[in-house]
């Protein structure tokens, strides 16, 4: 019953929110965000705890207001996503401003291919639609299999409608990592959300002074294929969503494969941390994230378990 209610809620969102005038949709999102924020449920409390790592100097009142801004940003993502299928190319182009496009264009024009890796910032789907419709690059991504299956199918259809090729993280009967590697070797584009590890086999990194794990996939795939690894950060700026495509993360020389994977993943973490530090309200992390917050069994997992099984990072949905 709960799964049916969740699926029905998303279906209602896509069916009704896209019909609302823009100011009404934005106001509705803010009201929902504020109501959830005032209740201080589990997700809001965890968001605030995560933001305390990002802004350790902030007083309690400042963190509370920052978590409110974070919930408004998170609900903005959802409201935009419900409306995105109705936006034309001009609307999408007018809402997105990105620096560093030359890094992506150079990688694609060289035939090298590119893997774009980004954290849970801003609106991943809007950025993807902008890449397809404004830059003209189609790409492959990965989606976590959700319950109920009808909700997963709804998200896949939504993203495919925006021009993405979507691979199921599990249960698809094919190797996701192998498919991504083939796309990259063919000089194509892959986009992955990579700041949260779901596999228990990620790479330990230092993030805002504490240890967490991030998927090895982006670094491992680019080592295997020779594709460019391009970190991206996204944030909201008034009516715009802005972003930066950072220069390629190059593998260090003279190290073994695991050491290179670790070093490249740490570089991703450092770049993302700086973007999140500047725009903390737009990092939509409402789950326990640092190892110190996770069950002790996971915290104690040895570092040698970093491997390429974590090549399938977390999609937002």
pLDDT tens digits, one per residue of 10-19: 677 667 888 8
Tell me: pLDDT of 313 over 50. Answer: no
Q: What is the per-residue pLDDT across 249-260, written as a single tens digit (0 to 9) for each? A: 999 987 799 999
Q: Which whole number is the average pLDDT over 66-82?
A: 95
Tell me the pLDDT of the chain averaged across its residues.
87
What token pair was written down for 57?
Answer: 């100097």
Higher pLDDT, 169 or 129: 129
φ, ψ (nearest 5 deg) of residue 197: -90, 130
Of 303, 139, 120, 129, whose CA–CA distance to 194 is shortest? 120
CA 46/CA 61 separation, integer angstroms: 16
What residues are paired with 244 via a beta bridge? 99, 233
pLDDT (average), residues 118-137:
95
| Section 5-32 average pLDDT | 81
Q: What is the pLDDT of residue 317?
A: 45
Question: Per DSSP, what are the bridge partners of residue 139?
Answer: 164, 189
Segment 309-314 shows an average pLDDT of 36
What pLDDT is recorded for position 260?
96
Q: Please tell me the predicted confidence (pLDDT) of residue 173.
A: 56
**What pLDDT, on a 0 to 100 scale, did the predictor assign at position 2?**
66
For 151-216, the DSSP string reads HHHHHHHHHHHTTEEEEESSSSSS-HHHHHHHHHHTT-EEEEE-SS-SSS--EEEEETTEEEEE-S
Mean pLDDT over 161-188 rounds to 85
Rg of the chain over Cα atoms, rounded to whole angstroms, equals 19
Predicted pLDDT of residue 308: 35
SS3 content of the chain, % helix, strand, coil (to 5): 55, 15, 30
More confident residue, 294 or 91: 91
Q: 99 - beta bridge partners? A: 244
Is the whole model's pTM more than 0.85, yes or no? yes
């Amino acid at each position: 019953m709960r799964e049916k209610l969740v699926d029905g809620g998303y279906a209602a969102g896509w069916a009704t929110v896209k019909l609302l005038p823009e100011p009404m949709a934005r106001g509705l999102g803010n009201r929902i965000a504020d109501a959830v924020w005032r209740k201080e449920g589990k997700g809001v409390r965890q968001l605030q705890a995560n933001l305390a790592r990002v802004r350790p100097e902030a007083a309690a009142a400042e963190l509370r207001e920052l978590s409110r801004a974070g919930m408004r940003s998170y609900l903005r993502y959802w409201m935009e996503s419900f409306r995105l299928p109705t936006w034309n190319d001009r609307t999408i182009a007018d809402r997105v401003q990105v620096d560093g496009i030359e890094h992506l264009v150079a990688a694609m024009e060289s035939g090298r291919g590119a893997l774009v890796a980004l954290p849970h910032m801003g609106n991943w789907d809007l950025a993807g639609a902008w890449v397809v419709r404004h830059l003209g690059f189609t790409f492959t991504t990965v989606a976590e299999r959700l319950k109920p299956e009808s909700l997963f199918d709804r998200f896949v259809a939504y993203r495919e409608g925006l021009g993405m090729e979507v691979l199921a993280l599990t249960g698809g009967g094919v190797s996701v990592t192998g498919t991504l590697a083939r796309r990259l070797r063919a000089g194509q584009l892959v986009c992955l959300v990579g700041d949260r590890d779901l596999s228990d086999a990620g790479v330990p990194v230092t993030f805002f002074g504490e240890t967490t794990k991030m998927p090895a996939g982006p670094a491992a795939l680019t080592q295997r294929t020779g594709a460019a690894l391009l970190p991206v950060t996204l944030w909201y700026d008034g009516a715009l969503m802005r972003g930066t495509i950072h220069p390629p993360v190059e593998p260090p020389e003279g190290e073994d494969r695991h050491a290179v994977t670790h070093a490249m993943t740490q570089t991703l973490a450092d770049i993302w941390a700086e973007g999140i530090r500047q725009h903390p309200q737009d990092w939509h992390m409402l789950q326990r994230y640092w190892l110190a917050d996770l069950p002790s069994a996971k915290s104690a997992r040895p570092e040698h378990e970093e491997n390429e099984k974590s090549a399938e990072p977390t999609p937002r949905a």
